Amino acid sequence: MVGLFSCLAFRKKVVKVEDTDRARSASRTSVSRQRKDRVHENENVNDDANLGIANAAAQLRSPAKAFTYRELCIATGMFNGANTIGEGGFGKVFKGRLDTGEIVAIKQLNHEGIQGSQEFIIEVLMLSLLHHPNLMGLKGYCTDGDEKLLIYEYMPQGSLEDHLFGNPSLMPNWVPLDWNTRIKIAIDTAKGLEYLHCRADPPVIFRDLKPANILLDNDFHAKLSDFGLAKLGPVGDKTHVSTRVMGTYGYCAPEYAMSGKLTIRSDIYSFGVVLLEIISGRKAIDPSRGRAEQNLVEWALPIFKDRTKFYKLADPALRGQYPVRCFHQAIAIIAICLQEMPLHRPFIKDVLVALEYLATQPYIPAAAGSAERSPCRPSPSQRDQSRY
């Protein structure tokens, strides 16, 4: 493990992130006003919220375009259910075609929850500031009256969640990801986090890392999406940010879940959970399994201590087609990311170096000899190679 996580001496380019206090303050005031007047909501409150978002985007010189609700109705066929490509706490996501012919993903705010409005404001601010190949690009937004929508680049292969666990409604011809593609996705995810943690100033804590928030293009390049819960990290002498506990059960770091103390190493724990899902094909929380296996991390922790049982962590869908040595090293990376004490977890730049090392030793079926034979008997791949 020491070799995998040796300290790095190089310096990275730092991207300055202005906190935009005035813009965020105006946005928070709008959200607070909505919360107080939830029963007697009026148009003035909505106008203030919309003005706050517009002013914030203008101050940040965001390339995101302001769309009208009518434009987005046309783009989605009046938000036709047939164009639905996802749904989450924020609301539904639709596939749409702009008048320029560009295909985009359009996320519509769920009117039922006030939290969605706050996430909307934060996401516009964050994506106006942060730009990286492994972060989702914001094309525009809409704040017509009560309607609040975000327009993103379209990711044709959907989410990592769809590919790990299968989604028959969206992917009738689903085939499991091969080992090399899984490592590639893990590296892209780590690159996105490395940008947020190491090159943004102050650092940004993603706070909701999970397979559903990792989207894939046609070449299976991964990008982080859904910045509604993102938080600026501690600066100066501060060691953490105190905040209300939010995120997804099964992915939150234990110290954050118990105390609300948030650090960049909280994201490292979440990354460990996601990487464990990637290699095992199991969900972080799965009520359909037996009681001892419902919580993935609790089930896996004893296995980390017994090398002879590592094979139990392999996704059966891999059909034994993975390099055993790299598989064991991936388990070592996961184990150190899931350390209970935050300070015992590595920085994301070190995790990235370790994963990139694994990528230099891909699984090549024709060259897989007895030394790299997995505990499960290999079988012919079912993957449609033309897709990759």
Listed residue (20, 28, 22, 50) closest to 127, CA to CA: 20
**Could you give the CA distance from residue 383 to residue 71 in angstroms, rounded to a whole number?**
39
Give me the helices (H) in 130-211, please. Answer: 160-165, 179-194
Decide if 47 is catalytic.
no
DSSP lists the bridge partners of residue 241 as 262
**Could you give the CA distance from residue 42 to residue 59 in angstroms, rounded to a whole number?**
26
Tell whether 107 is in a known binding site.
Answer: yes
Task: Tell me the three state secondary structure of residue 107.
Answer: strand
Instruction: Indicate the residue type of 368.
Output: A
Which of 178, 188, 208, 226 is labelled catalytic?
208
**Could you give the CA distance from residue 25 to residue 225 in angstroms, rounded to a whole number?**
24
For every residue of 259-278, DSSP letters joined together read H-EE-HHHHHHHHHHHHHHH
**Could you give the CA distance from residue 41 to residue 34 in angstroms, rounded to a whole number?**
7
Task: Tell me the three state secondary structure of residue 280.
Answer: helix
> 88 to each of 79, 149, 228, 286, 388, how far by Cα in Å?
16, 14, 12, 18, 28
Listed residue (274, 273, 253) closest to 264, CA to CA: 253
CB within 8 A of 155, min separation 6: which ones? 105, 136, 215, 216, 217, 223, 225
> 312 to each of 69, 315, 320, 324, 381, how far by Cα in Å?
50, 8, 11, 12, 20
Our CA angle for 157, 199, 28, nearest 5°, is 80
Instruction: Indicate the residue type of 33.
Output: R
Tell me the binding residues.
107
Which residues fall in the annotated binding site for ATP? 107
**What residues act catalytically?**
208
